[in-house]
């Protein structure tokens, strides 16, 4: 068996490009990255079958001339699974676009809130005693005492958070 | 006998899923069908466990293909025990969901999707537990993940899509790592049958073994949420509906733990990466629980304790002794039940108090003493207070750690104790703030807040407000309206989702409703189950020890799959 350099280079290139795209915040790119990674993995599985050979059909080729059929079966299964998941992710991207007119990975607001909390353990204190910026999101007192503006003009108390 | 029974835990839920899809227009038939199926799976699992405990491991060649060629299902004590616990928990969650469905009105569209998807999830979990070859394990993982994607994004609200995307991308990555690992294993050994692998992997050079082991472990550690691969979990789980989060918390990570156990005992018994796993376990326990202490939302607190307590199981596995494994297996069984129960209770808290944010809750112990008991008992169990099974599991693990007695093991023992104490701190803070603290002074404003918070995780569901809280007197009502406007504003700012209507609706004073009886009864049954674990702790721990001994010896598993002649 003569080892080929083409497959490893191809697999490595696909993995690199796939990981790069997967790290993007745009979901379409994430999906493309996932597709590249899936194909890289399929090629990796293909290359585990060893040297190339004839189609593994009884009567068509002798067993020692056949290529290994198992990786091909595994790849077929993997392709089907990738296909189904791709369809689902596309649906999620579409839904995300419908909801927010953007297809980026959203920010975990609750996580941000916990991270941005001041050093003292705000959880132990009465929210009413806290400075407005330390109060939990949605605390109504953040609005009290302001001049009575029309409700649609209420300023976001924590506008700088995002 | 086992040959007939073994495929059923996979087959029945899949057929049931098809059936529930067919009768999707008749919710009552659908509910009855899925409950029947899960009950049947539970029965089969118990039968399998009894037989596996009597006769040892049994292998079933699906389709009658001889062993190295066909797909093998293997029932040994570990997989049968996991099946029993998983199906019992699935039954509890399903009944809870049925109760919730009939309380909310079953014409809601996601519910007709819920039952088939839930059954597919159960099929995937069973398949993963029964799989006798690596690729079948992969397929089991994919089945359960695919179902979990659908369940997590049920209803398609903005927070769920946001959390779901994180979850899907991370799961996809771990699946690809696993698949690449399978490819590498096949290239090195020429088989994916786990019993054959157990024989052949030992003959490989050490470097190759280490590489294969680490690839598989990385894939499984992502699924099991072992630190540093755990950040996805607290981000995505809390957004899902209560029953979904409960079943995820109970089952999905534990399938990962099960796969780690198989990898470390059956495939790579040398214990090459035990040291790494030990430090990972310590970091998982401590960082997870510190995360839980920092959170102020019950579901997020529970998600972080889930991550943290995965550390206990990995701790037991990494000790590499029978006692350690037995402790880990017992802890898995205990933790599946307890974590599911707590998430169900969180669902009830959300219905009763209108929120899961502890800042916005209060006086729950007075408003609903039953709910208080339902929270308190499993919370103490989770923290490891003596009579409960959490204490027994932790004690077993700590004793196993002390028996090993090396430096890292003792550090882990200390870490386990600290984690247990911090768990107590985290759950008792929820208790004091949400249950014991008197209710806030400003009913109107508080209600709108609660509703806004409720609209967060559970968009389309109308907010639940206890009767009489939304008192409609002058200034308070105006404040409530302003607060609702603020909530609407925030939603525009963060990512608009259809929750503002719910906030406004409750701000103008919708009446409350009592907790549905079925949901309370189911949660009560789950709590009773977790308490009963204490009662049967002796036999259960004995079973766990026998399962661990099987895992250490490996002969039972190998004989079952390969027969005596093919062990070359």
If pLDDT is split at 50, 70 and 90, which confidence band does B5 have?
A: confident
**Residues with Cβ within 8 Å of residue B136, at least 6 apart in sequence:** B71, B72, B127
How confident is the model over B270-301, as pLDDT tens digits? 778 888 889 999 999 999 999 888 888 888 88
Of B168, B359, B448, the CB nearest to A92: B168
Chain A hits for B164, CB-CB cut-off 8 Å, are 92
Q: Which of B143-147, B225-229, B415-419 has the lowest mean pLDDT?
A: B225-229
Cα–Cα nearest to B65, from B142, B161, B152, B136 = B136
Average pLDDT over residues B257-271: 88
Q: What is the pLDDT of residue A118?
A: 57
pLDDT at B447: 46
Q: Which residues of chain A lie closer than 8 angstroms to B162, CB-CB?
A: 96, 105-108
* Residue pair A72/A49 in contact by the 8 Å Cβ criterion: yes
Q: Is B180 on the interface with A (CB under 8 A)?
A: yes
Judge: B486–A159 Cβ closer than 8 Å, yes or no. no
**Would you call B492 an interface residue with chain A, using a CB distance cutoff of 8 Å?**
no
For residues B358 and B434, the answer to whether their CB atoms sit within 8 Å is yes
B153 in contact with chain A, both atoms CB, cutoff 8 A: yes
Instruction: Quote the pLDDT of residue A129.
Output: 56
Neighbours of B367 (CB within 10 A): 17
Residue with the larger pLDDT of the pair A98 and B111: A98
**pLDDT for residue A32:** 93
Please name the residues between 349 and 388 in chain B that touch chain A, using a CB distance below 8 Å. Answer: 357-360
Residue B236 has a pLDDT of: 83
CB atoms < 10 A from the CB of A32, how many?
A: 16
Residue B484: predicted pLDDT: 52
> Cα angle vertex B82, ends B81, B87, to 5°?
105
User: What is the predicted pLDDT for the residue at B360?
Assistant: 77
Residues whose CB falls within 8 Å of the CB of residue B35, separated by 6 or more in sequence, listed in order: B91, B94, B95, B98
**Euclidean distance between CA atoms B563 and B58, whole angstroms:** 10
Instruction: Answer whether B301 touches A (CB < 8 Å).
Output: no
On chain A, the residues whose CB falls within 8 A of the CB of B187 are 47-48
Query: B183: which chain A residues are within 8 Å (Cβ-Cβ)?
Result: 41, 44-45, 47-48, 71, 74
The partner residue sitting opposite B300, judged by closest CB among A71, A110, A140, is: A110
* pLDDT given at position B408: 86
pTM: 0.81
pLDDT tens digit string along B519-559?
A: 888 888 888 888 888 888 888 888 888 888 888 888 888 88
User: Structure tokens of B63?
Assistant: 């389709």
Chain B residue with CA closest to A109: the answer is B494
Could B182 and A106 be called an inter-chain contact, meaning their C-beta atoms sit closer than 8 Å?
Answer: no
Q: Give exposure, A125-160, as e/b (b: 16+ Cβ within 10 Å).
A: eebeebeeeebbbbbbbbbeeeeeeebeebeebbee
B186 CA: distance to closest CA in chain A (Å): 7
Residues of A in contact with B487 (CB under 8 A): 138
Q: Is the dihedral of CA A152, A155, A158, A161 positive or negative?
A: positive
Q: What angle do CA B326, B328, B329 make, to 5 degrees?
A: 65
pLDDT at B521: 86
Percent of chain B with pLDDT over 90: 25
Q: Is the pLDDT of residue A85 over 50?
A: yes
Closest CA to B201 of B260, B263, B259: B263
Mean pLDDT, rounded, of chain B: 80
Q: Please determine, for residue A147, whether its predicted confidence score (pLDDT) is greater than 50.
A: no
pLDDT band at A59 (very low <50, low <70, confident <90, very high): confident
Average pLDDT (B141-170) is 86
Instruction: Find the closest chain B residue to A81 by CA distance.
Output: B142
| B563 pLDDT above the threshold of 90 | no
B563: cis peptide before it, omega within 30°?
Answer: no
Of the ranges A119-128, B138-147, B208-217, which one carries the lowest mean pLDDT score? A119-128
Q: What is the ipTM of this complex?
A: 0.77
- How close does chain B come to A64, measured CA to CA in Å? 15
| Confidence band, pLDDT 50/70/90 cuts, at residue B440 | low
**Quick one: which of B291, B341, B295 has its CA closest to B311?**
B291
Q: Tell me A138's DSSP state.
A: T
Q: What percent of chain B has pLDDT over 70?
A: 84
In chain A, which residues have their Cβ closer than 8 Å to the Cβ of B184? 44, 48
- pLDDT confidence tier of residue A119, bands split at 50, 70 and 90: low
End-to-end CA distance of chain B: 29
Other beta carbons less than 10 A from residue B138's beta carbon: 24
Could you tell me which residue, A71 or A107, shows the higher pLDDT?
A71
């Amino acid at each position: 068996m003569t080892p080929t350099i083409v497959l490893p280079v191809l697999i490595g290139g696909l993995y690199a490009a796939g990981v790069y795209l997967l790290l993007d915040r745009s979901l379409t790119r994430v999906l493309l990255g996932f597709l590249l990674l899936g194909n890289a993995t399929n090629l990796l599985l293909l290359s585990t079958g060893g040297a190339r050979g004839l189609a593994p059909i009884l009567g068509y080729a002798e067993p020692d001339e056949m290529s290994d059929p198992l990786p091909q079966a595994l790849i077929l299964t993997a392709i089907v699974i990738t296909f189904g998941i791709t369809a689902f992710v596309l649906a999620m991207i579409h839904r995300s676009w419908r909801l927010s007119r953007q297809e980026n990975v959203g920010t975990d607001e609750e996580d941000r809130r916990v991270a941005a909390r001041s050093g003292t353990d705000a959880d132990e204190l009465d929210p009413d005693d806290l400075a407005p910026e330390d109060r939990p999101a949605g605390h109504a007192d953040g609005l009290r005492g302001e001049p009575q503006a029309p409700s649609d003009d209420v300023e976001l108390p924590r506008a700088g958070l995002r | 006998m086992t040959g007939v029974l073994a495929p059923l835990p996979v087959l029945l839920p899949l057929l049931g899923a098809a059936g529930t899809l067919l009768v999707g227009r008749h919710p009552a038939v659908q509910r009855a069908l899925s409950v029947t199926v899960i009950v049947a799976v539970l029965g089969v699992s118990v039968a399998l466990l009894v037989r596996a405990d009597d006769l040892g491991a049994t292998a079933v060649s699906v389709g009658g293909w001889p062993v190295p060629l066909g797909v093998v299902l293997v029932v040994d004590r570990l997989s049968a025990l996991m099946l029993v616990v998983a199906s019992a928990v699935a039954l509890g969650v399903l009944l809870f969901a049925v109760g919730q469905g009939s309380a909310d009105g079953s014409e809601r569209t996601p519910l007709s999707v819920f039952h088939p998807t839930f059954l597919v999830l159960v099929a995937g979990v069973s398949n993963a537990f029964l799989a006798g070859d690596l690729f079948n394990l992969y397929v089991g993982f994919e089945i359960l993940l695919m179902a979990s994607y659908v369940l997590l994004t049920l209803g398609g609200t903005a927070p769920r899509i946001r959390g779901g995307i994180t979850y899907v991308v991370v799961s996809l990555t771990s699946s690809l790592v696993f698949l690449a690992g399978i490819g590498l294993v096949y290239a090195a050994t020429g088989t994916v049958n786990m019993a054959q692998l157990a024989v052949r992997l030992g003959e490989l050079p050490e470097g190759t073994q280490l590489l294969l082991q680490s690839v598989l472990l990385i894939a499984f550690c992502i699924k099991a949420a072992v630190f540093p691969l755990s950040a996805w979990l607290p981000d995505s789980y809390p957004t899902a509906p209560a029953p979904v989060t409960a079943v995820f918390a109970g089952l999905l990570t534990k399938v990962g733990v099960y796969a780690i156990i198989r990898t470390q005992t059956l495939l790579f018994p040398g214990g090459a990466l035990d040291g790494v796993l030990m430090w990972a376990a310590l970091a998982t326990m401590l960082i997870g629980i510190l995360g839980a202490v920092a959170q102020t939302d019950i579901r997020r607190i529970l998600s972080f304790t889930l991550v943290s307590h995965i550390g206990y199981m990995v701790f037991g596995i990494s000790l590499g002794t029978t006692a350690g494994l037995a402790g880990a297996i017992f802890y898995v069984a205990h933790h599946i039940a307890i974590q599911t129960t707590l998430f169900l209770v969180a669902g009830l808290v959300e219905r009763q108090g209108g929120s899961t944010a502890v800042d916005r809750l209060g006086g729950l112990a007075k408003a609903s003493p039953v709910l208080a008991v339902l929270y308190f008992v499993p919370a103490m169990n989770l923290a490891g207070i003596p009579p409960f099974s959490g204490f027994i599991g932790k004690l077993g693990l700590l004793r196993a750690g002390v028996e090993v007695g090396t430096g890292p093991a003792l550090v882990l023992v200390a870490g386990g104790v600290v984690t247990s104490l911090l768990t107590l701190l985290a759950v008792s803070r929820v208790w004091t703030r949400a249950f014991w603290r008197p209710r806030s002074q400003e009913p109107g404003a508080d209600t709108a807040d609660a509703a806004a918070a409720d609209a967060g995780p559970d968009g389309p569901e109308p907010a639940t407000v206890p009767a009489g809280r939304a008192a409609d007197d002058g200034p308070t009502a105006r404040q409530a309206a302003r607060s609702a406007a603020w909530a609407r504003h925030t939603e525009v700012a963060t990512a608009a989702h259809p929750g503002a209507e719910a906030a406004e609706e409750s701000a103008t004073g919708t009446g409350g409703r009592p907790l549905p009886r079925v949901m309370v009864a189911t949660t009560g049954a789950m709590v009773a189950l977790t308490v009963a674990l204490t009662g049967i702790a002796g036999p259960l721990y004995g079973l766990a020890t026998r399962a661990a001994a099987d895992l250490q010896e490996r002969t039972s598993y190998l004989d079952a799959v390969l027969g005596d002649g093919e062990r070359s």
